[in-house]
Structures are given as C-alpha cells and as structure tokens.
Amino acid sequence: MGIWANHVAPRILDKACARTDLIELRRRVLSGVHGDVLDVGFGSGHNLGHYPAGVQRVMAVEPSLLARRLAAERIAASSIRVDFVELDDERLVLPDDCVDVGVTTFTLCSIPDVVGALRQVARVLRPGGELRFVEHGLSPDHQVAAWQHRLTPLQKRVFGGCHFDRPIGDIIEAASFELVELTNFYLPGPKPPSYIYEGTARRT
C-alpha cells in the first residue's frame, strides 16, 4: 500500500488532474486571485498555468515528495515564485494573517482532518482574505449519493483517501468560513465522482 500511495497514486492523479474539462474550472476559480496565495494540495502544479498576473507568490502545501518532483517542470516554466510550506503536526508552518487568498482545487476530498486543515487556512489568511475552491463532493440527489457512499471505501483505498461523499459546503462553513458564493453542478460523465462545488468563502 505504501508503494501504491507514494509512487503510483501521485502519477495517476497527475494525469487525471490534466483533464481538459478541468481547465476552465481552474481558470474561473483563480480569476482575480492576487498577492500571496496559499495553494492547499498543490499536487504536481496544475494551477500554476492559470494564476493571473497579480499573484506574487504561491505558498504550496503538498506532502507528497513525488508530486513535488512532478511539479518541478511546471514550476521552472512559471514566472511565479513557488515556496513549499511544511506541516508540523498538521499545523501550517506559517505565521497568522500572512496570506491574501487560499485556494483548494480537488483537494478537500482527500485530507484526513479536512475541517482542521481549513481552520489552518483561516488562521493564516489576512483579515478579509478569501478562500477560493472547486471541489467534487456529495450530491443532493439521493440515488447518486447512495452510490457515492457505496463507492467511497474503494475510492479511498485506491486514490489516496479520496472521498466521493463529503458535503463540501458544510465542511467549509464548519471551519470558520462564511460562504459568499457557491455554485453546484455535474461535470459530464458518471455522476458519483462529478458533483462539483465551486465558490468563494471568507473567514468569519
């Protein structure tokens, strides 16, 4: 399982995150982002090509060393400074109130203590700072949700703890954020992995 999680799954996720239907979602959620940005679940750097000119620095949270290596070419090709942020017992090694915008893109599905992680994002955001997010999660359709619950145990084992059935909006609100904008929709294809939460939140 260690070999799969550490050496195989990051390569699969690198390819999956390069899907063309996700590009427009990344562009929308990153539109208007500026200053110092905390990218939670940086992965192999697929957001880098979509940050606008107003971004000065990306502080990248990514525990997978392989994902960091896979990101190296994208980082080298970008004009944006990228600094990796370490974790100390699940706490971001950053001072309070130091980040302009937090970003999560297809990340909250797989963080073990997702509310705790988002509270760390809230801690480091400056007053008035935003959280921008696009995530897949629990559908309000009971039939789709039933399949999401059935498939999640297998999904977690194969794809690094990924859940199909997390209620992303509720989770964000439970972590000291107020939802400012939220749009929900299905991507084309099978519905269990494709119900999307896209929006903006501010720390309360």
Least confident of 97-101, 104-108, 156-160, 163-167: 156-160
Q: Is the pLDDT of residue 39 over 90?
A: yes
The pLDDT of residue 16: 63
Q: Is the pLDDT of residue 7 over 70?
A: no
Percent of the chain with pLDDT over 90: 81
CATH number, domain containing residue 153: 3.40.50.150
186: tokens are 């299905």
CA 186 from centroid of its chain's CA atoms: 18
Average pLDDT over every residue of 189-203: 96
d(CA 51, CA 58): 9
d(CA 55, CA 196): 25
Residue for token pair 């949270």:
61
d(CA 28, CA 119): 24
Domain that holds residue 117: 2-203
User: If pLDDT is split at 50, 70 and 90, which confidence band does 83 have?
Assistant: very high
Average pLDDT over every residue of 115-125: 97
The pLDDT of residue 3: 59
Average pLDDT over every residue of 98-111: 96
Q: Please compute, for residue 24, the number of CA atoms within 13 A of its CA located in the half-sphere on the CB side.
A: 3
When comparing pLDDT for 163 and 90, which is higher? 163
pLDDT (tens digit per residue) in 47-67: 999 999 999 999 999 998 989
**Residue pair 75/82 in contact by the 8 Å Cβ criterion:** yes
d(CA 180, CA 59): 23
Please tell me the pTM assigned to this model: 0.92
User: If pLDDT is split at 50, 70 and 90, which confidence band does 76 have?
Assistant: very high
Question: Taken in order 170, 172, 173, 174, is the CA torsion positive or negative?
Answer: positive
Q: Please compute, for residue 131, the number of CA atoms within 13 A of its CA located in the half-sphere on the CB side.
A: 35
Angle at 123 between CA 13 and CA 165, to 5 degrees: 40
The pLDDT of residue 118: 98
Average pLDDT over every residue of 95-116: 96
User: If pLDDT is split at 50, 70 and 90, which confidence band does 1 have?
Assistant: very low
Which strands form 35-40's sheet, in the order they lie side by side?
81-84, 55-61, 35-40, 99-105, 125-136, 195-203, 177-186
Question: What total of structural domains would you count in the chain?
Answer: 1
